[in-house]
Amino acid sequence: MPSLLILNGPNLNLLGQREPEVYGTTTLAEIEERCTVTAQSLGYDAECLQSNHEGVLVDAIQGAQGQHGGIILNAGAYTHTSVALRDAVAGVAVPAIELHLSNTFAREEFRHQSYLSAVSLGLICGFGVAGYDLAIRAMVDHLAR
Ligand code: DQA
């Protein structure tokens, strides 16, 4: 089965307990399980990885080449700071969808800037956990074209 990489960045391991008024109460384990079910219903495996470390995320993006058809990337705060992640996404021939649980544009101004949007296939933000389903569906649709 072809596969998708579901990549979550810093502090997303705290989902469920972290600022629930912003991010909801669903845990990362529950999100990953849901991603796996959604992907498999569409004929894809989902490999899920979370790291708090920028270099690990860069390695995972590079490693997606030849392994995964697409990347769903919630880079957390690195979205707003990391040229290295941007260059990794731009440097591999694997499409990525940028994802955020919260509507980053309705929040602090420093969250309005993303290094990833310009090199991503598209951006999904503000739909909470449902965003992961939407991103998987959008990626599968894109890969079928
Ligand atoms: C986030 C938004 C980021 O601004 C923040 O730093 C996160 C989570 C989101 O999913 O809404 O860690 O990516």
Any atom of ligand 1 within 6 Å of the Cβ of 102:
yes
What pLDDT, on a 0 to 100 scale, did the predictor assign at position 118?
Answer: 98
Question: Which residue has the CA at smallest separation from atom 6 of ligand 1?
Answer: 77
Amino acid occupying residue 67: Q
Give yes or no: 23 in active site: yes
> If you compute the radius of gyration of the chain from its CA atoms, what whole number of angstroms results?
14
What pLDDT, on a 0 to 100 scale, did the predictor assign at position 56?
Answer: 98
Give yes or no: 68 in active site: no
Q: Can you give the pTM of this predicted structure?
A: 0.98
Rounded to an integer, the average pLDDT of 86-107 is 98
Q: What is the C-alpha separation between 69 and 42, in angstroms, rounded?
A: 13
Rounded to an integer, the average pLDDT of 22-37 is 97
Any atom of ligand 1 within 6 Å of the Cβ of 101:
yes
Rounded to an integer, the average pLDDT of 78-89 is 98
- pLDDT band (50, 70, 90) for residue 1: confident
Runs of H (alpha helix) within the chain: 20-23, 28-41, 54-63, 83-91, 130-143
Any atom of ligand 1 within 6 Å of the Cβ of 74:
yes
Q: How many CB atoms lie within 10 A of CB 143?
A: 14
Q: Which of 44, 68, 78, 100 is catalytic?
A: 100
Please, which residues have CB within 8 angstroms of residue 101's CB and are 6 or more apart in sequence? Answer: 15, 22, 23, 24, 74, 125, 127, 128, 129, 131
Rounded to an integer, the average pLDDT of 103-130 is 98
Any atom of ligand 1 within 6 Å of the Cβ of 104:
yes
